[in-house]
Amino acid sequence: MSLLESLLLYFLPLLISLSIVSPQTSTYTAYRTSFLYKTSCTSDQYFDVALLQCSPCPVNAQQKSDDSTKCECINDNYYYGVNQGGGSLLCILCGSNYVRSIDGFGCITNNISCDSTSSRQVKSEAALNGDLYTSVNSSSASQPRIGNATCVSCQDGTWSNQPSQRCTQCASVTPRLGQVQNATIACCNTTAVQDGVCLRYIDDGSLTGFLYQNMFKSPTTSVFFQQHLRASFFLCRMNLNVATAQAPTRQLLSNATACQLLGNIAAMQFYYNLNGYAYYFYDTYIWNPPVSPSFWTISSNRTSIPFLAYPSTYFQDISSSTYNWIPATYNQNDLLRIKLAKYSPTGNFLGLFDAFDTYMQLCGGGYTDGQAAFTFGTQFKKACNIRADALWNSTLYETAFFDPYVVLTRNGTDYFIPCPVVILNYQSTTGSNPNRNSDESAWSYNRRFFLLDRISGVTTTTSGTNELININYATTIKILTTLTSGASYIQPPVIIVGYSELALTDIGKGTIVQVSFESSYRMDFSQQIMNIWIAAGVLAFLGVVLAFFRTTVWYSRRGDDNIDLAVIGKFSVYISNILATVFFIVLAGVSVWWLIFYKRQNRISLVLPTDALQASFTALVVLAFSLKTIDILHLVFRQAMVDIFFMDWEKPKAGIKDDVSIWRTYFVANEYQEIQAFRRINVTFQIFFVLFLLKVINLENVATMEPGVNLFPPNVDYQPGYSSILRVGIAFSMWLATAIVQYLIYVIFYQRFVEDKIINFIDLCSVSNISVFIFTDNLYGYYIHGLSPHGTTDVNIKDMTMNLERESNQLSGKRGLQAKSDEQTFIVQISRNFRGVYTEARNRYHIQRSRQKENVMGEKQAESLMAAYQNLNGILCAFINHSLRGHEYTIRERTFQERVLNYEFLNRNPYQTLESEQSIFFVDNDRNLIRAIFAGHENSLFIWNMATFIFIDYFAFNYVLAGIVTYILNFIAIKICMSFGRKNLSTKTLIPKNFLM
């Protein structure tokens, strides 16, 4: 070997390895180009499952007639040199006078023609040992097998099995009812074979009119139904129409697989009971055969025949007071065990499976996710979006049929009870849809359902090919479990299924469909609903009585003997207030009761409310919020209409006229303006702390629709939803607990050791030598005695300090209205006579104020206004000092009954004259004067805040949003109160609005 040859041999492996591992520049760019999605290809193309496009068939090949994903040779004159499926085949021309063999990889002479319509002849190309009949020449590696064929006549009782090239016994494909005459079984012609079976002995020709229509919006003839319906019916019926089969010793001959196949077709046709459809033939000739006497008895065990529909009395059976089929012995976290008997489309039994293992929902999810859906007492709902293309052709979804059973355990042994299936798409023969109505007694209860139907939509097109043009899929599935007899038993869970359809035109367009799965529990809450409305009715009646009493109290304080629209309006407002409180108490009690007993139960005996109870609860929520809002508006406007006047006890200095300073009055008025919206409960803090408890501490998770409490659930795909009633219960509990803590802290600590705004205001009145008259009604109001024991307070800082020092050392008089008394606050019930005097003086004062607004204020006008003010101030001072002739008052304590009822029993004499009436001052040790401001209506305001929070969250399921809306509405109420109160103070006093902060 030369040196050059040696070097080449040495480097050849290295060159080859470099060519393999060296980076190559790819020229493939087809992935950059979009393509049209289509599954229907022309006859010279096949659908390439790798490219999802139509690709051309090789030379001399065309699309296979029964499989669009493969090609075949254009005719029998070509044999297959290679055939690997798809477009991977070579079609080679046979010689003249030769055609392709049955196996496709050889050629035979074409001078042999057997009767293709006869089942008694079979074409054979080789003997059983493989020898060719009349071999033409030897086969080589480059030539196809070439031979001859012969027509073999089948013996009696056999028929031709063309693919196997031999005769087969007819008995295996010719069902019969018993021994035939002469023990000879006659075979069918090829054209008489149905679904591969000869029906000669079981089809008597009396039943015709089979309809092969599917159940889409535009029904078409289903290829699957054409192939299987008639055969499955006769194979299932077999001897059910024979009188001898009625004997007690009868033996049923129904083909089990055929019966299941017939049931599948009935399910795909939504159990349509019109003559010609699968369910009609099943119900009329199999389940209830027209033979006499009746073939079936009530307790008949119908072997091999599927149970597809419940009798019309089923609802009455499970609703009976004697119902006791399934004991409710479920504890917390126990599973509702549902088993599914699974069948293939052609009726083969595939096994028994647990329902929670994704077999009942298209959304998927394994045991961990699906377990929540079957945890007894847990309300489960899950929805997901699926691409229509995936439902159409993905292997992730299969067509299968299911019969559900609920499993119950007795003495350690499992027992099955069938579960009914309600198909929402079911249509009666009259065209109605009873399963979509709320009357469950009119529902049609069936047994079998499917998730996806990609079979019945295959139809023969105008070109003669079979093509899938529609599918049905389960868009909604709901398991409805009913507890009955006081939660002692459960009814068999009802599987409610609703189907939607997809058409070929929906595919390839990115269409998304939504499917959902739900598990719901219910029980009879009619007694609870009645109890709720009885409680609300009784409390509402008492509320009306209380509203009438409060109207009577207001009417007596009004001082008018006429009953007019104002009285009716006041009565209506009081009813709104009391009924709102009543409804709120009822809904709060119901929600907290449900929260406690549903969450803390060990043995499940209580489920979440049904729609009927939910509707009642919703009405309570709406009424409580609406009526309480009306009450708060009345409160704000009533507070803005009070008649208030600041009495100045300061006397002018000797020799100096009109030198009393007005700044003390301004200061007291500003302080009163500030406390008008004062409340002991800080709403801002209340909202933030409640949200902290609900969202940060995660107490919101107490309201999930499952028994038990899990504040920090594991991070899984499914999180249980929330119950609106439970959300109300936990929100009310947190609001109430936070308010109680806040109120106690304010009363016990803050009010004692920091400040008491009401006491501070009373002290300010005394230091300023200002008394305050507040008339909330015409003859009723409050009085704060602010007369300083020092006589004058318009002094310098030294004198002020000395005055306060003497008072603290008890070296001066008391601040009280009575001698040696510290009582400064009083409830005032004035006489009608004094009210007239006060009203007259007040009107003169207001007339001067109105003139001030209309004209430029001059010195003369200012003096007139000052005179009117001093006149009103002097009348009130004289009244308090008992120096106003004919207008006296007495001071006394309120009795226990008066304090409880907040009503003063005056016992006026009807024959008493106006001049002889006396006003009464009741010592106000309970600080009832705060009823003139927000602080005196803390309960109503607090209930309104809670009702607002609950109302928003009830419909929005968002605590944060509820907190924001509650804060905004409370802020608006405060601003309205402050604005209207400021205007009222400016109108009723001499103080301009710009001096009120």
Q: What is the pLDDT of residue 106?
A: 80
Domain shared by 640 and 749, yes or no: yes
List pLDDT tens digits, range 297-314. Answer: 655 556 678 888 888 888
Does residue 89 lie within any of the structural domains? yes
Q: What share of the chain is helix, strand, coil (3-state, %, to 5)?
A: 40, 20, 40
Map residue 781 onto helix, strand or coil.
strand
Amino acid 575: pLDDT = 92
Whose tokens are 């007795």? That residue is 410
Instruction: Produce one character per residue of 601-611: b if its CB has 16 or more CB atoms within 10 Å, e if not.
Output: beebbbbbbbe
Q: What angle do CA 654, 656, 657 make, to 5 degrees?
A: 115
Give domain status of residue 9, yes or no.
no
Same domain, 414 and 363: yes
- Run of H or E residues at 76: none
Q: Are residues 546 and 510 in the same domain?
A: no
**Domain span including residue 971:** 531-786+824-831+887-908+917-995
Please tell me whether residues 624 and 702 are part of one structural domain: yes
Query: CA–CA separation, 559 vs 833, rounded Å?
Result: 11
Which residue reads 């304090």 in tokens?
Answer: 899
Residue 642 DSSP class: -
- Are residue 774 and residue 685 in the same domain, yes or no? yes
8 A C-beta contact, residue 876 and residue 773: yes
Structural domain contains residue 636 = yes
275-285 confidence digits (pLDDT tens)? 999 999 999 88
Only one residue has tokens 């008694």, namely 120
Would you state the pLDDT for residue 302?
67
Residue in the block written with tokens 């924001």:
964
Residue 48 resides in a domain: yes
The answer on 605 and 502 residing in a single domain is no
How many CB atoms lie under 10 A from the CB of residue 22?
A: 7
Write the DSSP symbol of residue 996: -
pLDDT score of 22: 35
The encoded tokens of residue 536 equal 């609300």
pLDDT along the chain (997 residues), means of 10: 37 34 37 52 80 79 87 90 78 86 80 69 70 56 65 74 71 65 66 77 81 90 93 83 55 75 95 94 85 60 78 87 84 87 88 78 63 84 89 86 87 84 94 92 94 93 88 94 88 94 90 91 86 89 91 85 85 92 93 91 85 85 95 92 89 69 87 91 95 94 86 71 92 96 93 90 90 91 89 77 79 80 90 88 77 61 77 89 87 88 70 69 89 92 96 95 96 93 83 74
User: Quick one: pLDDT at residue 740?
Assistant: 95
Q: Does residue 842 lie within any of the structural domains?
A: no
Sign of the dihedral defined by the CA atoms of residues 815, 818, 819, 820, in that order: negative
DSSP 793-816: ----HHHHHHHHHHHHTT-S--SS
Helix (H, G, I), strand (E, B) or coil at 45: strand
Q: Give the C-alpha separation, 929 to 923, whole Å.
A: 11
Which tokens sit at 230?
Answer: 């008639």
CA distance 452 to 402: 11
Q: Rounded to whole angstroms, how far apart are CA atoms 337 and 349? A: 20
Does 363 fall in a domain?
yes
Taking CB atoms within 8 Å and a gap of at least 24, the contacts of 12-18 are none
The pLDDT value given to residue 364: 67
Residues 89/61, Cβ–Cβ less than 8 Å? yes
Cα 567–569–572 angle (5° rounding)?
110
Predicted confidence at residue 249, as pLDDT, reads 52
Q: How many CB atoms lie within 10 A of CB 804?
A: 13
408 vs 393: CA distance, rounded Å: 38
Same domain? 515 vs 540: no
553 and 483 together in one domain:
no
CA 762 to chain centroid: 54
612, β-bridge pairs: none
**Contact 584/947 with Cβ under 8 angstroms?**
yes
Calpha distance 648→988 (Å, rounded)? 15
Segment 612-628, tens digit of pLDDT: 778 888 999 999 999 99
Q: Of 260, 281, 259, 284, whose CA–CA distance to 212 is shortest?
A: 281
User: What one-character-per-residue DSSP string does 190-224 give?
Assistant: GGGEETTEE-TTT--S-------B--SSS--B-HH
The CA-atom distances, in angstroms, between 680 and each of 27, 271, 904, 928, 991 are 80, 67, 27, 15, 28
pLDDT on residue 884 = 87
Looking at the DSSP bridge assignments, the partners of residue 221 are 213
Q: Residues 604, 632: one domain?
A: yes
Q: How many domains does the chain have?
A: 3
538 and 621 together in one domain:
yes
Final residue belonging to a domain, choices 72, 90, 109: 109
Whether residue 801 lies inside any domain: the answer is no
- One domain for residues 583 and 689: yes
pTM: 0.75
Q: Which of 458, 490, 523 is the last residue of a domain?
A: 523
Task: Say what the pLDDT of residue 2 is.
Answer: 40
| Structural domain includes residue 442 | yes
Same domain, 588 and 724: yes
Q: How far apart are CA 736 and CA 658, in angstroms?
A: 54
Q: What is the pLDDT of residues 390-427, one digit of tens each?
A: 899 877 888 999 988 888 887 877 888 889 999 999 99
Of 109, 134, 154, the residue at which a domain comes to its end is 109
